[in-house]
Amino acid sequence: MKDDEINDGSVENPGSSRRGFLKQSSALAALAMTPPAALTAVEKGLDEKLAVAFEQIPLKVEINGAMQQLKIEPRVTLLDLLREQLNLTGTKKGCDYGQCGACTVHVDGQRVNACLTLAMTTDGCKVTTIEGLAEGGPEGKLHPMQEAFIKHDGFQCGYCTPGQIMSAVACIREGHAKNPDEIREYMSGNICRCGAYSNIVDAIMDVKQGGAKV
Amino acid sequence: MTKDTKNPPIDRVDGRMKVTGGAKYFAEFEMPNTTYCVIVGSEIAKGAIASLDTKKAAGAPGVLGVFTHQNMPPIPGWDAPVQGNGNGPPPGPPSGGEKYRILHTNKILFYGQPMAMVVADTFERATYAASLVKATYTKQPHQTDLTKNLEKGVTPKGPRFEDYLRGNADAYKSAPVTLEVKYTIPIEVHQPMELHGVLAGWTGDDKVMVYAKTQGVKGTQKSVAEAFKIDPNNVHVHTEFMGGGFGMGLRTWPQEIAVVAIAKKVGRPVKLVITRNQMFSLVGHRPTTVQTINMGADTNGKLVGLSHAATGETATYEDFTEGTVSMTKFMYACPNVSTKYKIVPLDRGVPIWMRGPGEATGAFALESAMDEMATKLKLDPIEFRLRNYTETDPEHNRPYSDKNLKEAYQKGAEAIGWSSRKAEPGSNRDSDWLVGYGMSSGTFNASKGGATARAVLNADGTLLLQCSVTDIGPGTGTAMTMIAHNVLGVPVEKIKVEYGDSALPNSPQQGGSTITSTVGSAVHQVCTSVKKSLIDMATQSGTPLAGIKADDLTVADGFVSADGDSSKKVAIADLLKKANLTTLDKTEESKANGKPDEQKYSMYSFSVHFVQVRVNPSTGVVRVSKAVSVADSGRIISPKTAASQMIGGVAGGIGMALTEEAVIDHRFGRIVNNNLADYHVAVSADVPHTETIVIDKPDPYINPMGAKGMGEIALIGFAAAVANAVFNATGQRIRDLPITPDKLLRTA
């Protein structure tokens, strides 16, 4: 075979077009209102900073009982907001594609993959992460599911564990923990590569049968 | 307490950290002004970058740098080996190919090879900017298909990989019953739940802090120090928690070194978290391997001859080797055994040991073949193994230090209900499902390396243990706690373990099922030393214990007391006070056992796996409906975490047997199912309730605890047990993993 060249024929990225539009419209808006500072900014090539300011949108969300008033880019996922901006690193990034469940949190009581949730869509919602699961906070008394995971050793490396626990709590609340087979089915969105499944199922059954409020 | 006492199950000492989200993994540490790095990988498997347009990316918002082979900051130690991770330089490439240096030239050696590393002030901006980097290539034809390149196999250098022969290599041919079979395993990929990467920031001209995802902080420290030609003491590496490794963290990957270099250039900490897609190309894999087994037996079920040949893949730029044919040399009594092991350089990223490593690959072939031969001989597979059982290691002509495999066979058979197995394949039906039973054995070398541990006993009765070892999940901290408790009698809740930091005493990397033995020995030794000091202090003249021999004293619960007379005791706190000490602080180095070949005994851990499968003959679906794994790995230090290792091996083994396969589209040389939706690791619904059994007898020779490793044996052999059970259920022998429905329907 002789050497050949491939060129992916790169096209203008739609993202950059959108950004271009935003820059343009923000500059136009600035012109219309004629604030001299904005005009100077555009002239000095600081239009990018202006565009950035326009791209920050307000977000009001209750996370683990505390109201957060934030300004974020619309493309930020709930997962990256928690981990990179709010230092709530208990929620894990396992795949970023919604395939592993490591980032499972509760939004208004429902389990969701935080990596597939744009943070802005949680405006006005209540988000609970692993850090907010125990009523007494991280240093206080553990949630029954956390206790059960320790008792049954439902983990090894611990990386999928917060997602497993958030999912397990929701699994019981949903009424999907009637027996081990049902638990296996409804917990299959949470991958554990260390393979602690057998112990995780035991932990969930224990909590279910113990009757504690989850 | 002595090693003859079984240990009670205790909760994992870091359990609370893990269930509350308090455990911090590398990407979760805060360094002020951290920047984010995203890798742009090549879209061809072999050739060169013709042009690389980074202008748009460099001009995108928040971008601090776009690093390519054209502007990569210098790495002074590039010419020195940087990739050996403490094990010396990596072996040179077998085919005379060139070494791979990240962002060093425009040459492309494998699909996904980093071409650019984009750094920006937020993760989103770095990701967006990375999408703007565009390349054109000069392509060259690539070879990524092992099966089409088998003739290029070379025997790796080193005594471990030489062709092995005992007796006559052709003896199997003239045996009354013969078997000649080929087995293949696909590329498997570790895929721990935590994404790989690194967070690094320079704290001075020649000082750097590295939060790594490594199975050995000391190895990473050495790699970074060598790459940048700085004092290892100026490289601080921290990995207290690692979100799974399974082998992929047993080396420092080139992109880690690149991030450290880039962090220096941009003058801010840089965080790289690679994508799940990139986890299929940048951090190794279990190599696809083709194996042949030739076996001959007499009509009494005695092995006459056994040959095992394996050919696995490596990269063009670096040798990768593993012990694929090791088990065949010593597992069964057989006078005539030969093995061959070869590697084929392909235009792919280099493999890395994956749990069980080559031994798991080899055991699939050997233990499947044992089942096939048992079928030919019309013998129960356990009976066939027992007829070829050996109490001495036939490879080295010496006894095993400890082997209880017969007991393991028996206990496992009882637990699975082996008596329900029907010898005639395909004859056990339960409504729409065919039911089958299978078993296999596994074994892995048990070793003790060198390590250093520090123990600090405080006047308040608490104990601090320190060692740089990383705990990737097996429960190393818990095992260390148990060992210290056994020696010093300090209650487990009063023991604190610190590990996973390069500033702590020396430890090898966590891999090869050796840490409980290696670091455990160091903990045992330093705690024994602390105990001796306490007894010396307690028996000085004028104390209630004066004159009593050390053997007649017990240290427990804050006191040194006389055996048989509990009224005679001295509080440890009083001893320290009297000696004007606030702590008893000791650091000791435990030496490695000698080389395996120089030992009087062969030391191995053993496992036996039993499974029941249900196969749907209409759909070809295989379900593992019961699983029992038995470990014969000496004294079990931490029964609870040990059991978790075993059930983890079952889950991994189910994946290996039934679902895991990274598929390459050889037209492009790339893995097409490079994500967790398409590369199927076992999920909860795939794994039945798993029973684990431990023999729990101390090995008298390996180390003071009598403990051997079990991380590898939990997986080694398991896939064969499933394949054997599928045969028992259906009469179909699948020799090509994974056992997917299409293969069963095709051969039906």
Condensed to tens digits (0 to 9), the pLDDT of residues B181-209 reads 999 999 999 999 999 999 999 999 999 99
E strand or H helix at B315, and its extent?
Answer: strand B303-315
Asked whether the beta carbons of B24 and B241 are under 8 A apart, the reply is yes
Over range B403-422, report the average pLDDT: 98
For chain A, the C-alpha Rg in angstroms (whole number) is: 23
Q: Please answer yes or no on whether B20 and A146 come within 8 Å at the CB atom.
A: yes
A25 pLDDT tier (thresholds 50, 70, 90): low
For chain B, the C-alpha Rg in angstroms (whole number) is: 27
On the question of a cis peptide bond just before residue B394, with omega within 30 degrees of 0, the verdict is no
HSE value, Cβ hemisphere, 13 Å, CA-based, for B110: 31
Does the CB of B106 have a partner CB in chain A at under 8 Å?
A: no
| Residue in this structure with the two tokens 């190599």, named with its chain if needed | B287
pLDDT at A10: 37
Q: What whole-number distance in Å separates Cα of residue B695 and Cα of residue B273?
A: 41
pLDDT at B133: 98
Q: Please answer yes or no on whether A80 and B123 come within 8 Å at the CB atom.
A: yes
Nearest chain A residue to B626 by CA: give it. Answer: A198
Over range B581-607, report the average pLDDT: 92
Contacts of A181 (CB under 8 A, 6+ apart): none
pLDDT at A45: 52
Q: How far A26 CA sits from the closest chain B CA (Å)? A: 16
Nearest chain A residue to B56 by CA: give it. Answer: A16
Q: What whole-number distance in Å separates Cα of residue B438 and Cα of residue B625?
A: 12
Considering only CB atoms, B675 lies closest to which of A48, A95, A195, namely A95
Q: Which two tokens stand for residue A122?
A: 């949680």
pLDDT at B86: 43
Q: What is the percentage of chain B residues whose pLDDT exceeds 90?
A: 90
| Residue in this structure with the two tokens 């729409």, named with its chain if needed | B432
* DSSP state, residue B353: -
Nearest chain A residue to B241 by CA: give it. Answer: A157
Q: Which two tokens stand for residue B617?
A: 């003959």
pLDDT at B89: 46
Considering only CB atoms, A94 lies closest to which of B193, B685, B686, namely B193
Over range B617-632, report the average pLDDT: 98
Over range B533-561, report the average pLDDT: 90
Calculate helix-pair angle for A197-210, A161-173, nearest 10 degrees: 40
Does the CB of B27 have a partner CB in chain A at under 8 Å?
A: yes
Asked whether the beta carbons of B112 and B281 are under 8 A apart, the reply is yes
**Which is more confident, A8 or B647?**
B647
Condensed to tens digits (0 to 9), the pLDDT of residues A147-158 reads 999 999 999 999
Stretch 47-76 of chain B: residues touching chain A, C-beta under 8 Å: 47, 50, 53, 56, 60-61
Q: Where in chain A is the domain with CATH 3.10.20.30?
A: 57-132
Q: Which two tokens stand for residue B695?
A: 């023999």
Q: How far A2 CA sits from the closest chain B CA (Å)? A: 7
Condensed to tens digits (0 to 9), the pLDDT of residues B671-693 reads 999 999 999 999 999 999 999 99
Q: Please answer yes or no on whether B19 and A146 come within 8 Å at the CB atom.
A: yes
Specify the CATH class of A140-214 in words: mainly alpha
Q: What whole-number distance in Å separates Cα of residue B486 and Cα of residue B10?
A: 13
Using the predicted structure, report yes or no on whether residue B87 has a pLDDT greater than 70: no
Q: What whole-number distance in Å separates Cα of residue A197 and Cα of residue A185?
A: 11
Condensed to tens digits (0 to 9), the pLDDT of residues B289-340 reads 999 999 999 999 999 999 999 999 999 999 899 999 999 999 999 999 999 9
Contacts of A185 in chain B (CB under 8 A): 684-685
Over range B471-499, report the average pLDDT: 96
| Residue in this structure with the two tokens 């490396």, named with its chain if needed | A157
Using the predicted structure, report yes or no on whether residue B288 has a pLDDT greater than 50: yes
pLDDT at A139: 74
Q: Which residues pair with B441 in a beta bridge?
A: B608
Considering only CB atoms, B138 lies closest to which of A3, A155, A185, namely A3
Contacts of A16 in chain B (CB under 8 A): 56, 60, 132
Considering only CB atoms, A130 lies closest to which of B21, B141, B191, namely B21
Interface probe with B: pick from A16, A197, A202, most Cβ of B within 10 Å: A197
Q: What whole-number distance in Å separates Cα of residue B235 and Cα of residue B247?
A: 23
Over range B573-587, report the average pLDDT: 94
pLDDT at B98: 67
CB pairs < 8 Å spanning A and B: 230
Using the predicted structure, report yes or no on whether residue B499 has a pLDDT greater than 90: yes
Q: What whole-number distance in Å separates Cα of residue B270 and Cα of residue B255?
A: 12
3-state SS class at B383: helix
Q: How far is CA B65 from CA B198, B224, B564, in A?
A: 18, 22, 73
3-state SS class at B346: strand
B565 pLDDT tier (thresholds 50, 70, 90): confident
Beta strands A126-128 and A104-107: pairing type? antiparallel
Asked whether the beta carbons of B650 and A194 are under 8 A apart, the reply is no
Using the predicted structure, report yes or no on whether residue A24 has a pLDDT greater than 60: no
Q: What whole-number distance in Å separates Cα of residue A121 and Cα of residue A74?
A: 9
Q: Which two tokens stand for residue B513?
A: 């099922």
Contacts of A76 in chain B (CB under 8 A): 124
First CA to last CA distance, chain A: 64
Q: Please answer yes or no on whether B643 and A153 come within 8 Å at the CB atom.
A: yes
pLDDT at A40: 54
pLDDT at A135: 82
Residue type at position B260 = V
B544 pLDDT tier (thresholds 50, 70, 90): confident
The burial of B465, by beta-carbon neighbours within 10 Å (0-12 exposed, 13-18 middle, 19 or more buried), is given as: buried
Could you tell me which of B27, B76, B36, B70 has the C-alpha nearest to residue B206? Answer: B76
Asked whether the beta carbons of B198 and B212 are under 8 A apart, the reply is yes
Count of positions (residues) in chain A = 214
The burial of B343, by beta-carbon neighbours within 10 Å (0-12 exposed, 13-18 middle, 19 or more buried), is given as: buried
Q: What is the four-CA torsion angle of B341, B346, B352, B357, rounded to 10 degrees?
A: -30
**Which is more confident, A136 or A114?**
A114
pLDDT at B566: 80
Q: What whole-number distance in Å separates Cα of residue A8 and Cα of residue A22?
A: 27
Q: Which two tokens stand for residue A9?
A: 């024929």
Q: How far is CA A186 from CA A101, A166, A175, B625, in A?
A: 12, 13, 10, 18
Contacts of A177 in chain B (CB under 8 A): none
Beta strands A4-7 and B134-139: pairing type? antiparallel
pLDDT at A14: 39
pLDDT at B93: 52
Asked whether the beta carbons of B476 and B216 are under 8 A apart, the reply is no
Condensed to tens digits (0 to 9), the pLDDT of residues A159-180 reads 999 999 999 999 999 999 999 9
Nearest chain B residue to A49 by CA: give it. Answer: B61
3-state SS class at B217: helix
Domains identified in chain B and CATH numbers: 26-141+193-244+249-280 (3.90.1170.50), 289-447+598-747 (3.30.365.10), 448-459+476-592 (3.30.365.10)
Q: Which two tokens stand for residue B587?
A: 């650091």
Q: Please answer yes or no on whether B684 and A184 come within 8 Å at the CB atom.
A: yes
Q: What whole-number distance in Å separates Cα of residue B467 and Cα of residue B454?
A: 7
Considering only CB atoms, A142 lies closest to which of B19, B643, B645, namely B19
Q: What whole-number distance in Å separates Cα of residue B517 and Cα of residue B698?
A: 12
Domain A57-132 grouped into CATH 3.40.50.2300: no
Q: Where in chain A is the domain with CATH 1.10.150.120?
A: 140-214
* Arithmetic mean of pLDDT over chain B: 94
Q: What whole-number distance in Å separates Cα of residue B493 and Cα of residue B356?
A: 33
Nearest chain B residue to A189 by CA: give it. Answer: B683
Does the CB of B38 have a partner CB in chain A at under 8 Å?
A: no
Please report the DSSP string for B671-719 in residue order.
ES--STTTS----GGG---EEEEE-----TTT-TT-B---TTTTTTTHH
Does the CB of B335 have a partner CB in chain A at under 8 Å?
A: no
Query: Considering only A19-23, B347-351, B737-741, which range has the smallest mean pLDDT?
Result: A19-23
Considering only CB atoms, B193 lies closest to which of A100, A129, A200, namely A100
A32 pLDDT tier (thresholds 50, 70, 90): low
| Residue in this structure with the two tokens 């022969």, named with its chain if needed | B165
Over range B400-411, report the average pLDDT: 98
Does the CB of B425 have a partner CB in chain A at under 8 Å?
A: no
Over range B509-533, report the average pLDDT: 95
Stretch 191-220 of chain B: residues touching chain A, C-beta under 8 Å: 191-195
Condensed to tens digits (0 to 9), the pLDDT of residues A39-59 reads 554 455 565 666 677 789 999
Tell me if residue B712 is catalytic: yes
pLDDT at B348: 97
Could you tell me which of B419, B416, B401, B414 has the C-alpha nearest to residue B632? Answer: B401
Using the predicted structure, report yes or no on whether residue B496 has a pLDDT greater than 60: yes
Angle at B653 between CA B647 and CA B655, to 5 degrees: 115
Q: Please answer yes or no on whether A157 and B242 come within 8 Å at the CB atom.
A: yes
3-state SS class at B404: coil
HSE value, Cβ hemisphere, 13 Å, CA-based, for B639: 13
Q: What whole-number distance in Å separates Cα of residue B379 and Cα of residue B387?
A: 10
Q: What whole-number distance in Å separates Cα of residue B375 and Cα of residue B696?
A: 32
Asked whether the beta carbons of B690 and A198 are under 8 A apart, the reply is yes
Condensed to tens digits (0 to 9), the pLDDT of residues B112-160 reads 999 999 999 999 999 999 999 999 999 999 999 999 999 999 999 888 8
Q: What whole-number distance in Å separates Cα of residue A1 and Cα of residue B12?
A: 58
B596 pLDDT tier (thresholds 50, 70, 90): confident
Asked whether the beta carbons of A83 and B28 are under 8 A apart, the reply is yes
